[in-house]
Structure 1
Amino acid sequence: MRLRNKPWAKEMINDNLDLISVQPTDMQGKWQSKFEKEQPLFLELGSGKGRFITDLAKQNPQNNYIAMEVQEGAISLLLKKQVEMKLPNLQLLLDNGSKLSELFAENEIDGLYLNFSDPWPKTRHEKRRLTYKAFLEQYKYVLKDDGHIKFKTDNQGLFEYSLISMNNYGMKFDEISLDLHNNEGLNLNNIQTEYEEKFSKKGFRINYLKAHF
């Protein structure tokens, strides 16, 4: 969902370049320098307004996190939160997810989160889906050998597509649920996104998987 432009967004971003990187060209292999401590590094691709990634960072100070978003309007709302919280283990990144191999070095990321990505339901838009094989190729490049992908969506079609796409790419599944919120074991430590809470309350089932290459 595309958010309206925020007239204050550009100024806020320019005033807080210690907290957010905007289309960087020289950060491959250097992301740990953005944090107070060098720790395992995790990336959320498509962070939206940032409820999930900020809660995750607060609950896991032993890890470093990067929230990546292509929409300036969305990431400006997340930046507004981070200006107040100043979480030392969270950095923001405004850029396009199709450029991961240009933004990160090989084996730089410990884990990747894909939460409620745009389903792009039309066949002609398949290449835009974040679980399309071209994206999986980039994830494999930036993830460490023991790195994992965690994926959540309320869209059944996208989930089925993702299972097939990942399987065809040779990925292995560690966890799968077609109804995450009613899976007591997997839901125990689940952190919800804004979108997830809204649609689960309307009765939508949340699909979830954890996989590795």
Structure 2
Amino acid sequence: MRQRNKPWADDFLRENSDLVIPNPDQYKSKWHELFGNDNPIHVEIGTGKGQFIVGMAKQFPNINFIGIELAKSVIVTAAQKVQESEQTNIKLIQENAENLNEIFATNEVSTVYLNFSDPWPKNRHEKRRLTSHSFLERYENILHPEGQLIFKTDNRGLFEYSLVSFSRFGMLLEEVSLDLHQLADPTNIMTEYEEKFSAKGQPIHRCKAVFRGE
């Protein structure tokens, strides 16, 4: 869906550079210094309007959360939601996920969340899928050896593709659920998209996976 332009977005980002971090590559290997603690770092790729990351930050105050979102018109909405929450354990980045390895050092991240990523259904767009081989290489690099990748989607085709992709990469699947909400997981925070489609009876799929390491 095309997002409506927000003419005030540039000014907002400049005025809130302590929340939406400009030049995030400057903090590679130094994110703990920015947060002012040594708590684990969890990264959400495609943070959308911010409901998930704010909910997680409230539920887990001893974890530092970083949300990555490329669309300017979307990340400012997420930033407003973070401000309203008054959570201090969240930072946001307006950046393309392709640049993860320029932003985070090896083993710097404990968990990566992929929530309702674009399925890019055409075969010629496979490399754009956030669960393709090239992206898995990026996650493996930034994740701690015991780190986890948590993936949620309502798209069955993307979910099946991703399970195959994870397996071919040699990852261990710790959880595979074709109907997440049947698990009644009290730690699950729903995104705006998840709430909308779950209310319509659409099953939500979730997978938790880890890299085997050497």
Q: Is the 8 A contact 1:64 1:90 kept in 2?
A: yes
TM-score by length of 1: 0.96
Distance 1:52 1:2 in 2: 21
Give unpaired runs (5+ residues) of structure 2: none
Match of 2:197 in 1: 199
**What does 1:161-200 correspond to in 2, within 5 Å?**
161-184=161-184, 187-200=185-198
TM-score by length of 2: 0.95
Q: Is the 8 A contact 2:126 2:132 kept in 1?
A: yes
Distance 1:56 1:188 in 2: 12
Q: Secondary structure at the match of 1:147?
A: strand
Deviations, residues 33-73 of structure 1 (Å, cap 9, x unaligned): 22132201100000000000001001111111001101111
**What does 1:47-58 correspond to in 2, within 5 Å?**
47-58=47-58
Q: Which moved more, 1:26-35 or 1:102-111?
A: 26-35
Specify the code of the residue in structure 2 equivalent to 1:74.
V
Q: Is the 8 A contact 2:41 2:108 kept in 1?
A: yes
**What does 1:85-96 correspond to in 2, within 5 Å?**
85-96=85-96
Distance 2:193 2:175 in 1: 22
Q: Secondary structure at the match of 1:140?
A: helix
Q: What is the deviation of 1:82?
A: 2.0
Distance 1:179 1:169 in 2: 24
Q: Which moved more, 1:194-203 or 1:14-23?
A: 14-23
Q: Secondary structure at the match of 2:181?
A: helix
Identity %: 49
Specify the code of the residue in structure 2 equivalent to 1:146.
E
**What does 1:17-28 correspond to in 2, within 5 Å?**
17-28=17-28
Q: Is the 8 A contact 2:111 2:147 kept in 1?
A: yes
Q: Is the 8 A contact 2:51 2:81 kept in 1?
A: no
Which segments of structure 1 move beyond 6 Å, counting only runs of 4 or more?
Answer: none
Q: Which moved more, 1:145-154 or 1:175-184?
A: 175-184
Distance 1:98 1:86 in 2: 30
Distance 1:2 1:191 in 2: 25
Deviations, residues 73-124 of structure 1 (Å, cap 9, x unaligned): 1100011122333311111111000111111100000001000000001111
Specify the code of the residue in structure 2 equivalent to 1:133.
H
**What does 1:53-92 correspond to in 2, within 5 Å?**
53-92=53-92
Across the aligned residues of Structure 1 and Structure 2, the Cα RMSD in angstroms comes to: 1.1
Q: Does 1:109 align with 2:109?
A: yes
Match of 2:132 in 1: 132
Distance 2:85 2:159 in 1: 34
Specify the code of the residue in structure 2 equivalent to 1:113.
Y
Give unpaired runs (5+ residues) of structure 1: none
Specify the code of the residue in structure 2 equivalent to 1:192.
M
Specify the code of the residue in structure 2 equivalent to 1:191.
I
Q: What is the deviation of 1:23?
A: 4.2
Q: Is the 8 A contact 2:133 2:165 kept in 1?
A: yes
Q: Is the 8 A contact 2:50 2:82 kept in 1?
A: no
